[in-house]
Amino acid sequence: AELKLWGGRFTGSTDPLMHLYNASLPYDQKMYKADILGTKVYTSGLQKIGLLTDDELIKIHQGLDLIEQEWSLGKFVEKDGDEDIHTANERRLGELIGREISGKVHTGRSRNDQVATDMRIFVREELIKLKSILKDLIETILKRAENEIDVLMPGYTHLQKAQPIRWSHWLSMYATYFVEDYKRLIEIIDRLNSSPLGAGALAGHPYGIDREFLAKGLGFNNVIGNSLTAVSDRDFVVESLFWSTLFMNHISRLSEDLIIYSSGEFGFIKLADAYSTGSSLMPQKKNPDSLELLRGKSGRVFGSLSGFLMSIKSIPSTYNKDMQEDKEPLFDALTTVEHSILIATGVISTLNINKDKMESALTMDMLATDLADYLVRKGVPFRETHHISGSCVKLAEDLNLSGIDQLTLDQFKSIDERFNEDVRETFNFETSVERRTAIGGTAKSAVLNQLQNLQSQL
Ligand code: ARG
């Protein structure tokens, strides 16, 4: 019969379906490196307090190196009794260096502090990877914004044409979101970087292991100060999932904008072939599947967060097996986010913009606010000028003119005496945009400042 590591008090064998239901090895083998590193440092800690000899420690570390090699070459042979990455590695260590020595490795340790440690190491590495590719995404956006700084387009609220803006200002909006994501990610990495190792199953370490030594060896900033918290805390999983959800929400909104901008009716952008697909039926179609998937997958990541919150919302304190359910949603979310960042970077760096379409979508009524501002500059209170400008829009409409700029000076004066010949200068999109020089505005200087400021935060 198969040998379970915890088999001492059990006489009956496990229901085969129960074994499968219980086993996490199919997905937690992703953490093999973290598990091996954790055991290396832990056994060094044991040697330090005299529970392993120098010679035993060397044998253990050599065995662990071999196991790591087996995993990385895809040569690790799983056995029926293996339940998770921790038991699989310990079982294999016994085969390689003998149970006499491997049997000492787990002294004072539990899979509870072990798995919490592995997860933190693994997630830390994954988040650092995300941080690096997110930086690339942001820089791709910033570069594009700098190159295309002269292109104007309509800015929208309620998806209705509102005011002219720079295309780069739109790009800079998403770069601003992503820089916040970037900074939030750094905070999460910092917060999760505390060591649970040496907490034992829950009550603490019975042989006085040096937990600070373990923490240092694993690159943690500090030790989690309560052994019960150390084994039971999965807040870092929730935070990572929430981060992923919020980030994907930003990606989803960006995608939605670009889907709209790529429609025939807008025609502002064209996706590269590399990120589009055709229709099996309609030969003329070029569909923005990449963007639709970015938008769609945000829902999947959101589901991972809410699912895991449900899993842990009312479990009693310290370790419960429910907590094993942290892995699949988190791993799936991290992979989805990683791929999404790479795809978004590809989409944004390869799409083509159609400057003419963007600029010809600008309409004179989008300058009605500027018309109100014109009178403000002549000393009229804004609330009044807003009304006057509205009357001009209405008059132009009533006269069936193509826009407010077509009104004659007499017609302007019929609405308000304070209009002069210089009102003509209002009807220029570039002028409108260039007035917005205050911090965060769409004037060229203000946008260039944003880009520089964003770059400096990376
Ligand atoms: N595979 C388990 C998990 O992922 C490891 C911890 C098992 N601990 C226990 N007491 N059964 O959570």
Does residue 247 fall inside a structural domain?
A: yes
What are the pLDDT digits (tens) for 365-387? Answer: 999 999 999 999 999 999 999 99
> How many other CB atoms are there within 10 angstroms of residue 204's CB atom?
17
Helix, strand, or coil here: 204? coil
Is residue 324 within 6 Å of ligand 1 at its C-beta? yes
Q: Do both 355 and 370 map to the same domain?
A: no
**Of all protein residues, whose CA lies closest to atom 3 belonging to ligand 1?**
324
211 belongs to a structural domain: no
For residue 394, the Cα-to-chain-centroid distance in whole angstroms is 46
For residue 88, the surrounding DSSP H or E stretch is: helix 85-97
Q: How far apart are CA 369 and CA 366, in angstroms?
A: 7
Instruction: State the CATH number of the domain containing residue 163.
Output: 1.20.200.10
Same domain, 263 and 242: yes
Q: Is 270 helix (H, G, I), strand (E, B) or coil?
A: strand
In terms of domains, do 327 and 369 share one? no
Residues 97 and 119 occupy one common structural domain = no
Minimum-distance ligand 1 atom for the alpha carbon of 6:
11
Q: How many CA atoms lie within 13 A of 242 on its CB side?
A: 10
Is 279 annotated in the active site?
A: yes
Cα dihedral across residues 96, 97, 99, 102: positive or negative: negative
Residues 324, 298 within the same domain: yes
- Centre of ligand 1 to C-alpha 230, Å, is 14
The verdict on residue 452 lying in a domain is no
Q: 423 with 300, same domain?
A: no
Q: Identify whether 435 is part of a domain.
A: no
Same domain, 257 and 393: no
Pocket flag, ligand 1, residue 182 (CB < 6 Å): no
What confidence tens digit (pLDDT) does each residue in 205-243 have?
999 999 999 999 999 999 999 999 999 999 999 999 999
What are the angstrom distances between the C-alpha of 137 and each of 19, 47, 141, 340, 375? Answer: 43, 45, 6, 10, 43
Alpha carbon of 140 to those of 111, 144, 146, 166, 170: distances in Å? 43, 6, 10, 17, 14
Q: If DSSP codes are grouped into helix, strand and coil, which group holds residue 454?
A: helix
Give the list of residues 6+ apart from residue 55 with CB closer than 8 angstroms, or none.
none
What is residue 11's predicted lDDT score, i.e. its pLDDT? 73
Instruction: Answer with the one of 360, 389, 419 that is the final residue of a domain.
Output: 360
Domain endpoint, select from 360, 391, 419: 360
Expressed as residue numbers, the domain containing 419 is: 364-427
* Secondary structure (DSSP) of 291-359: HHHHHHHHHHHHHHHHHHHHHHTTPPSS--GGGGGGHHHHHHHHHHHHHHHHHHHHHHHH-EE-HHHHH
State yes or no: pLDDT of 170 exceeds 90: yes
Q: Evaluate whether residue 127 is within a structural domain.
A: yes
pLDDT of residue 281: 78
Same domain, 351 and 372: no
What's the domain count of the chain? 3
Question: Is residue 84 in contact with ligand 1, taking CB distance under 6 Å?
Answer: yes
Do the domain assignments include residue 449? no
- Cβ atoms of 352 and 272 within 8 Å: the answer is yes
User: Does some domain include residue 51?
Assistant: yes
Question: How does pLDDT run across 91-122, given as a tens digit for each residue?
Answer: 999 999 999 999 999 999 999 999 999 999 99
pLDDT at 1: 44
- CATH at 39: 1.10.275.10
Catalytic residue among 132, 279, 306, 445: 279
Tell me the ipTM for this assembly: 0.97
Least confident stretch, 33-42, 271-280, 408-417 = 271-280
Mean pLDDT, the chain, whole residue set = 96
| Same domain as 379, residue 348 | no
Candidate of 18, 35, 111, 325 to mutate for ligand 1, largest count of ligand atoms within 8 Å of Cβ: 111
Rounded mean pLDDT of 358-366? 96
236 Cα–ligand 1 center, Å: 17
- Pocket of ligand 1 contains residue 24 by CB under 6 Å: yes
Cα distances (Å, whole numbers) of residue 234 to 37, 285, 324, 439:
20, 46, 10, 40
Substitution site in 6, 237, 321 for ligand 1 pocket (most atoms within 8 Å of beta carbon): 321
Shortest-distance atom of ligand 1 to CA 323? 12
CATH number at residue 415: 1.10.40.30
Expressed in angstroms and rounded, the spacing between residue 71 Cα and the centre of ligand 1 is 20
User: In 3-state terms, what secondary structure has residue 417?
Assistant: coil
Q: Please check whether residues 268 and 369 belong to one and the same domain.
A: no
Which ligand 1 atom lies nearest to the CA of residue 319? 10
pLDDT at residue 308, rounded to an integer: 98
286-318 residues labelled b (16+ CB within 10 A) or e (exposed): eebebbebbbebbeebbebbeebeebbeeeeeb
Judge if the beta carbon of residue 319 lies within 6 A of ligand 1: yes
CB 112 less than 6 A from any atom of ligand 1: yes
pLDDT of residue 394: 95
Helix (H) or strand (E) holding 97: helix 85-97
Distance 19 CA to ligand 1 centre (A): 13
Residue 237 Cβ < 6 Å to ligand 1: no
Atom of ligand 1 nearest to the CA of 201: 10
Q: Is the CB of 23 under 6 A from ligand 1?
A: no
Residue of the CA atom closest to atom 12 of ligand 1: 324
Q: Whose CA is nearest to atom 11 of ligand 1?
A: 321
Nearest to 195 by CA among 243, 239, 227: 227
Q: Which atom of ligand 1 is nearest to the CA of 119?
A: 4
Residue 377 in any domain: the answer is yes
For residue 24, the ligand 1 atom closest to its alpha carbon is: 1
- pLDDT class for 165, splitting at 50, 70, 90? very high
Instruction: State whether the beta carbon of 31 lies less than 6 angstroms from ligand 1.
Output: no
pLDDT digits (tens, 9 = 90+) for 251-306: 999 999 999 999 999 999 999 999 998 877 787 888 999 999 999 999 999 999 99
Residue 23 has phi, psi (to 5 degrees) of -75, 135
> Is the per-residue pLDDT at 249 higher than 80?
yes
The per-residue pLDDT for 2 is 55
Residue 3 scores a pLDDT above 70: no
Asked if 322 contacts 250 with a C-beta cutoff of 8 angstroms, the reply is no
For the purposes of burial, counting CB atoms within 10 Å of the CB of 121, is it exposed (0-12), middle (13-18) or buried (19 or more)? Answer: buried
Give the pair of three-digit tokens for residue 168.
């780069």
Residue 332 CA to ligand 1 centre (angstroms):
19
Q: Do the Cβ atoms of 251 and 291 come closer than 8 Å?
A: no
Q: Which residues pair with 353 in a beta bridge?
A: 269
Distance from residue 115's CA to the centre of ligand 1 (Å): 7
Query: Which pLDDT score is estimated for 280?
Result: 78
pLDDT of 147 > 50? The answer is: yes
Residues 129 and 224 occupy one common structural domain: yes
Q: Among 59, 74, 102, which residue terminates a domain?
A: 102
Q: Is 323 in the pocket of ligand 1 (CB under 6 A)?
A: yes
Q: Report pLDDT digits (tens) over 345-359.
A: 999 999 999 999 999
Lowest mean pLDDT among 3-17, 50-64, 412-426: 3-17
**pLDDT (0 to 100) of residue 423:** 95
Atom of ligand 1 nearest to the CA of 83: 1
Q: Is 115 in the pocket of ligand 1 (CB under 6 A)?
A: yes
Q: Do residue 182 and residue 50 come from a single domain?
A: no
Active site residue 44: no
